[in-house]
Each structure stands twice: as C-alpha cells, then as structure tokens.
C-alpha cells in the first residue's frame, strides 16, 4: 500500500525545524525530508537558490530552480519511499512556491506555469498539508533572535549564521507570503496550526494530527 505524504509548511520562524526534530523521535519509521533539497542534486539547487547571487533572480527563475529541485526530489526520494509504503514528511513543498514566488515576489502571471509544473509531479500529491501559522513580524523576529544564538556554520570569521536573501526581505514580502499560503490552502487538504503558542504545544498538536493521518 502507498505510504502517506505529509507536508509541513510555514513562513520564516514558524518553527518547522523544531517541530520536525520532535517528529523524528515520534515517527522513527517515517522518511523526513525538506525543500528545496532532499537529495544531493536538489541540495545543490537549494544552495544556488538561497545564495547571495540569487537575490535579484526574478520569480520565474526562482520557480524554475525550485521545480527542478522538486522533480528530482520526487523522482529520487519521495516517490520510491511512498511506493515502499513509508510515510514521507517534507518540510515545505509546492505550497512554498505559491506563497513565495507567486505572492511574495508578486508574480500572479506565473499561476499557469505553476499549474503546468505541478502536472509533472504526476501522482506525487501530498495527502495533507500542515501549516504552522504565525504572524509574519513574530516569525521574522524569531529568525533574527535564533540566528544570533547559533554559531555560524558557514564562516570562521563570524560567530553568527547570516540571514539568507529570503529572510532579509521586507515585512510586506513575508505578509504576502502568509496570504499566499492562505489562498493555496483553500485548494488542498490541510490543517492550520496556531504556531504562536509555546513550541511544546505546537509539537504535540502536529504529532497528534500526523498520528491520525497515518492511521487512515
């Protein structure tokens, strides 16, 4: 029997990483992955996408890059795992493209291209999207505070992880991203989780949602 495909979504600072870590211990048999990335080739595309050189790339370039990574991710990792009957939990998926490229980057003219790219995913359609929803200003503040705490993984000179070009964008950009998610989720099976609450509460709520979904 095909496994269940669940997407964990949220804007910057929604807590996806911390929730995913908790879920890894709760669901040791599930395959955890992320976008952009998830396979060696897709991770290379991720590095390009979030690099400073990509800061001024327009929405269509970003969309082409992210779908290239997604198609590889689906082919090499997600689909084989689902076919093997495993549950797959991905941090971000096509919902992020709708939110960031079409809404954040203000490119509604890309909706037809988005639809065409999605067709290439074939039957690899998520069974459920779980959206960690938090006010954009609250999320961005969390990102800044957390990055100040973390030692840098990329430079020896600096003691803090630099923000990538998405994280550096304006509050208005991130508010558009949140509205983009709201629009996208009208069209797919989803659950919205209030991620402004304490992390432990959010973690156990998401865990309960997944437990129910995997059992179905």
Structure token digits, residue 8? 């964990």
Q: Which of 79, 60, 68 is nearest to 41 (CA)?
A: 68
Q: Does 176 sit near ligand TMP (CB under 6 A)? A: no
CB closer to ligand TMP out of 91 and 133 = 91
Q: How far is the CB of 59 from ligand TMP (least distance, A)?
A: 9
Whole-angstrom Cα distance, residue 127 to residue 142?
Answer: 29
Q: How far is the CB of 91 from ligand TMP (least distance, A)?
A: 6
**Torsion angles phi and psi, residue 79, rounded to 5:** -65, -45
- Would you give the binding string for ligand TMP spanning residues 104-143, x where CB under 6 A is met? ----------------------------------------
Torsion of CA 142, 19, 203, 14, to 10 degrees: 30
Q: Give 130's Cβ-side CA count (13 Å radius).
A: 28
- Would you give the binding string for ligand TMP spanning residues 14-53, x where CB under 6 A is met? ---------------------xx------------xx---
Residues 6 or more apart whose Cβ sits within 8 Å of residue 104: 169, 173, 174, 176, 177, 180
Please work out, in degrees rounded to the nearest 5, the angle formed at the alpha carbon of residue 173 by the alpha carbons of 23 and 167.
50
- The stretch among 52-60, 95-103, 106-114, 147-155 that binds ligand TMP (CB under 6 A) is 95-103
3-state class (DSSP) for residue 56: coil
CB closer to ligand TMP out of 5 and 166 = 166
Counts of helices then strands in the chain (DSSP H, E): 9, 5
Q: How far is the CB of 215 from ligand TMP (least distance, A)?
A: 28
Selected binder of ligand TMP within 4, 33, 90, 97 (CB under 6 A) = 97
- The stretch among 89-97, 111-119, 133-141, 206-214 that binds ligand TMP (CB under 6 A) is 89-97
Tell me which residues touch ligand TMP (CB under 6 A). Answer: 35-36, 49-50, 62, 66, 91-92, 96-97, 100-101, 166
């Amino acid at each position: 029997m095909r496994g269940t495909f669940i997407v964990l979504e949220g804007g910057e600072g929604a807590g996806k990483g911390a929730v995913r870590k908790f879920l890894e211990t709760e669901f040791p048999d599930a395959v955890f992955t992320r976008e952009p990335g998830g396979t060696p080739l897709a991770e290379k595309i991720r590095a390009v996408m979030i690099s400073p050189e990509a800061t001024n790339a327009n929405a269509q370039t970003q969309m082409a890059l992210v779908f290239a990574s997604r198609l590889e991710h689906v082919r090499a990792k997600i689909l084989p795992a689902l076919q093997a009957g495993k549950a797959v939990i991905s941090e971000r998926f096509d919902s992020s493209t709708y939110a960031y490229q079409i809404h954040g980057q203000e490119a509604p003219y890309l909706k037809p291209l988005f639809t065409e790219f999605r067709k290439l995913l074939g039957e690899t359609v998520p069974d459920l999207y779980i959206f960690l929803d938090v006010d954009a200003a609250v999320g961005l503040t969390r990102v800044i505070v957390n990055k100040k705490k973390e030692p840098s993984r990329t430079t020896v000179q600096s003691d803090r992880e630099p923000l990538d070009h998405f994280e550096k964008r304006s509050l208005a950009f991130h508010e558009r991203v949140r509205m983009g998610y709201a629009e996208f989720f009208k069209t797919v099976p989803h659950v919205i989780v209030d991620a402004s609450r304490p992390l432990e509460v959010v973690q156990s709520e998401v865990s309960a949602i997944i437990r129910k979904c995997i059992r179905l």
